[in-house]
Amino acid sequence: MTTPDHRADYLGADRLSAPGGEPVLVVDAAKWRRPRAPIQTVVIGVDRDGAMPAVVADDFDMLVTAAVGAPRPWVSLGSFSQVDELADAVRALPLAATIAAQLLRLTQKMPLADALTVESFAYSSLLGGAEFARWLAAAKIDDGPPTPAEPVAVARDGDRLTLTLNDPTNHNAMTAAMRDALYEALANALDDPSVPTVLLQGAGKCFSTGGDLPEFGTARDLAEAHMVRTLHSCARALDALGDRGAVRLHGACIGSGIEVAAAAHHRVAAPDAWFQLPELGMGLIPGAGGTATVARAIGRHRTLWMLVSGKRVGATQALDWGLVHQIEGGA
């Protein structure tokens, strides 16, 4: 663990970065103060005693504690071996990890639409990076089943619209065709003069396992991909519905399967729902809005923990953190 007198001047700050070879610092949360120099390293503040000392949250990218049921922005760890795992995960993919931390810092106070645009810029840059290229070269991805003719089913009952992700054979993986169909349905709801309410749900065993793996890395023009991604942002459209928009989440909600849903103003989970942000392991960050939507629900420190750890968050923990508002059958 870094000593409390660790300092960095402007020239020395170069080493506290991915290019400088030190992309992560594990520090004593009670004693660490962020230097004035512009360091890029991911700073993990640790409270091994479970005392949850008063800290300046802006000094850290992640805060972990031995205390049980710790309040935001802390993450309660069952074992401090996880701290080494977090640090190792950053060292394994230092560019994606530090860009994720920078992005979360930068966008936390931005309007959602602006934060989504900035996320897309960063996502496109990582799509062109070496870390993603290595993952893609090593991945063995089979072609998935064909996309159904109606990837999003639309049903109307009076002034209530139900939109159902409708590819259960492929676990409602978010293909480009499904994204475009969902955006079209949400845009129609926003334009509808009858001002309908909208419920978004998934067919089959889960809500969505996120982006369709066979489509990863297929974009040849990353600038155009950014423009399409932001033009058809389902997260932005779902947020624009305000109190009229709700989601029902069940089973696996992975990657874009929670990134988009987290933009809804009403989020209900089935008891079997679980949530995961696995993109960092691919050398990427969320690209469907997660650094903005999930971070607004649970805070940037916990969002970075989800990204770096890749761990699943169950429905009860999601409710405690604010990722969902209600569990079915509960209050």
In the chain, what are the domains?
12-92 (no CATH), 111-288+312-327 (3.90.226.10)
Residue 135 has pLDDT above 60, yes or no: yes
pTM: 0.95
The pLDDT-based confidence of 3 (bands split at 50, 70, 90) is: very low
pLDDT at 5: 39
| Mean pLDDT of the region 203-215 | 93
pLDDT digits (tens, 9 = 90+) for 89-108: 999 999 999 999 999 999 99
pLDDT at 7: 59
pLDDT at 12: 80
Least confident among 13-17, 57-61, 92-96, 186-190: 13-17
pLDDT at 331: 54
Residue 4 has pLDDT above 70, yes or no: no
pLDDT at 80: 84
Q: Which position has the higher pLDDT, 285 or 13?
A: 285
pLDDT digits (tens, 9 = 90+) for 238-290: 999 999 999 999 999 999 999 999 999 999 999 999 999 999 999 999 999 99
Q: Which two tokens stand for residue 198?
A: 């909208």
What is the residue-averaged pLDDT of the chain?
93
| Mean pLDDT of the region 115-123 | 97
pLDDT at 330: 66
